[in-house]
């Protein structure tokens, strides 16, 4: 069984419409796919309406969070929430807050670039985002369009990196508050790509342990941004802390090289994550009353 629990659509910084994402997931041979756009559940309805036979959908989202170290260093991290109630007031307000922050911060990065004579306009970034939660990949695409950089990856290595002078952080939420909020909304939480080192600083193991004590359910072990030794380390940590280990592609369509199903989650891990009461249930075309798809 092929299970991919982390993908993006045009509801955030992916390039497939939610309906296209479902079709592509089926073509890629996935049996279960989660849609996890940044800070939005805006793709759920379209994905559900377009769900092909034989594919099960896990509605989710990837929440922008941060952790402040003992020495005051701010580390940005991502929390996947699955099967939560999209109408839960607190969690809906947090998504809205984060999307508004993404707009102001995206504009601030573009302003910084423009002030330095870099060819990019905010209007074009908004067009490219097509109504989705705005992120640096949208700015990167405009930089590619304008010939400023050769590809999206180059934009991230230089102009858009967290260490660039143009970079502006988002108003990320506290990760422990986010874990609690996902649970209050009836969902399940997984720490996304904990050791994606090329994106910037990563948290130490004791922070992951504290997240586990705060109710975190799982951690992504298999991920395209994880080195082999880091995956082995995370698998051991998951065992020690009683966290469920997942594997996912973090597919973003044409915005990233990773393909659907590049990393996958074991069926036993899937069952452990979702065989519990949640506000939403996995969606499939099967008749109601069937066993957990
Ligand atoms: P933001 O959410 O605006 O801070 O932008 C971060 C997003 O950019 C994440 O969702 C990543 O998936 C994506 N990203 C990070 N590095 C790269 C890269 N080298 N190429 C393409 N996308 C990237
Ligand atoms: Fe992304
Ligand atoms: Fe992420
Ligand atoms: Zn992601």
Mutate to test the pocket of ligand 1, among 8, 10, 136, 254 (most ligand atoms within 8 A of CB): 136
- Mean pLDDT of the region 214-237: 98
| 47 CA distance to ligand 1 middle (Å) | 22
Asked if 130 and 37 count as a contact pair (C-beta separation under 8 A), the reply is no
Q: What is the pLDDT of residue 142?
A: 98
Q: Which residues surround ligand 2, an ion (CB under 5 A)?
A: 13
d(CA 282, CA 274): 8
Strands 74-82 and 188-192: antiparallel
Q: pLDDT (tens digit, 9 = 90+) per residue, 160-212?
A: 999 999 999 999 999 999 999 999 999 999 999 999 998 889 999 999 999 99
Closest residue to atom 13 of ligand 1, CA basis: 137
């Amino acid at each position: 069984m092929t299970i991919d629990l982390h993908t993006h659509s045009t509801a955030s910084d992916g390039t497939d419409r939610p309906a296209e994402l479902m079709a592509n997931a089926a073509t890629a041979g996935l049996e279960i796919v989660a849609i996890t756009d940044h800070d939005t559940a805006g793709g759920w309805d379209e994905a559900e309406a377009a769900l092909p036979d034989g594919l099960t959908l896990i509605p989710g989202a990837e929440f922008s969070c941060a952790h402040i170290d003992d020495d005051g260093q701010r580390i940005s991290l991502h929390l996947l929430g699955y099967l939560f109630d999209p109408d839960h007031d607190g969690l809906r307000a947090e998504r809205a807050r984060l999307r508004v922050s993404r707009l102001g911060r995206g504009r601030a990065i573009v302003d910084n670039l423009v002030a330095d004579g870099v060819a990019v306009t905010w209007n074009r970034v908004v067009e490219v985002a097509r109504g989705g939660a705005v992120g640096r990949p949208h700015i990167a695409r405009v930089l590619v369009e304008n010939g400023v950089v050769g590809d999206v990856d180059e934009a991230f290595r230089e102009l858009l990196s967290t260490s660039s002078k143009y970079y502006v952080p988002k108003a990320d939420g506290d990760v422990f508050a986010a874990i609690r909020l996902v649970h209050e909304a009836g969902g399940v939480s997984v720490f996304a790509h904990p050791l994606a080192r090329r994106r910037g600083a990563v948290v130490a193991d004791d922070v992951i342990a504290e997240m586990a004590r705060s109710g975190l359910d799982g951690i992504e072990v298999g991920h395209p941004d994880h080195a082999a030794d880091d995956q082995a380390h995370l698998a051991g940590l998951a065992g020690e802390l009683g966290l469920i280990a997942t594997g996912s592609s973090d597919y973003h369509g044409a915005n990233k090289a990773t393909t659907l199903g590049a990393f996958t989650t074991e069926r036993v891990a899937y069952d452990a994550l979702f065989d519990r009461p949640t506000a939403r249930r996995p969606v499939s075309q099967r008749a109601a009353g069937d066993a957990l798809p």
